[in-house]
Structure 1
Amino acid sequence: MDTQHLTQAKVVRELTGDHCIVRELLMTYSL
């Protein structure tokens, strides 16, 4: 399930408050 992934992304999003940062981090982890 993607529950853990979504939760982590949500936490990071709340901490950063910026979609660009989260998106960049997700792309980095994808690599």
Structure 2
Amino acid sequence: MVISFSEPQVRDFLLRMGTVYTFRKARRKRFL
């Protein structure tokens, strides 16, 4: 199975995952 990163759906998914990850990391840093 080949996934092209040019697909808007894949890019949107990766962008959302990255945003959630960075947001969680920032929150964790703030609480510590």
Q: TM-score, normalised by structure 1?
A: 0.49
| Higher RCO (CA-CA < 8 Å; seq separation 6+) | 1
Greater per-residue helix proportion: 1
